[in-house]
Amino acid sequence: MEPSITIHLIIAITLVSVVAFGDQRLFSALLFEPFVMKARGEWYRVVTHAFVHANWPHLVVNMFVLYMFGRNVELLYGMVSERPVWSTYLLLFLGGVVFSSLPGFKRHALDPSYRAVGASGGVSSVLFAQVLMLPTTEVRFLLLPIPLQAWLFGVLYLVYSWQMDKRGGDNVAHDAHFYGAVFGVLFTVVLDPRLITHIGYLQRSIGY
């Protein structure tokens, strides 16, 4: 069996991130820097920042979540869309990266000190695509004392990300988490509107 799209993405992101750990020039060239993007027209950074990370824990957490949810989303996308899975999945991930960056760009376009890195926006879009398609499955994370149904986890995640973004001050791009999640839901609904009109239909049909 060929490696999944998720595995290919994880390999690519990990390789670029590890190289960038030891190459500050590469790291600086790829990160999300709204002021520089606007001044120099370096719009490619809206995508490339997802392939570099601040440190090993940042990289490992993002890739772990992508691995745990991405493989399921690949399989489920094969059921909700007639389009090639590789194309819809990449549009989900990269669209989440771009869409989740737009609020940060608008907010910090005139701030020469603002920089951001990481695949969190794309990872959130993948995570919430599964939340929508399998709303009552249990979600477990190390930081959760008890398992939660996916829909409840999703609500709490969005509320937390919104509140933390408003509070600020912790050097975490909570807005990317929030808007990446929103994109994941909207994109998946476009693929199959029944996921909203008949909530849980896919989960029931596969007996998951």
Local structure of 113: helix, strand or coil: coil
pLDDT digits (tens, 9 = 90+) for 65-74: 999 999 999 9
Determine what percent of the chain is predicted with pLDDT higher than 70.
93
Determine what percent of the chain is predicted with pLDDT higher than 90.
71
CA angle 131, 135, 136 (to 5 degrees): 130
Structure tokens at 31: 């990160």
Instruction: Calculate the dihedral angle through the C-alpha atoms of 12, 16, 21, 24, rounding to the nearest 10 degrees.
Output: -160
> Model-level pTM?
0.92
pLDDT tops 80 at residue 167: no
pLDDT tops 50 at residue 144: yes
Range of the domain at 198: 5-206
Q: What is the pLDDT of residue 154?
A: 85
Q: What is the pLDDT of residue 1?
A: 42
145 vs 191, which has greater pLDDT? 191
Q: What is the pLDDT of residue 139?
A: 80
Report phi then psi at 148, rounded to 5. Answer: -125, 145
Domain count along the chain: 1
Residue 8: count other Cβ atoms within 10 Å of its Cβ. 13
110: domain CATH number? 1.20.1540.10
pLDDT digits (tens, 9 = 90+) for 66-100: 999 999 999 999 999 889 999 999 999 999 999 99
Structure tokens at 127: 């995570």
12 vs 153, which has greater pLDDT? 12
Residue among 39, 26, 184 at smallest CA distance from 114: 39
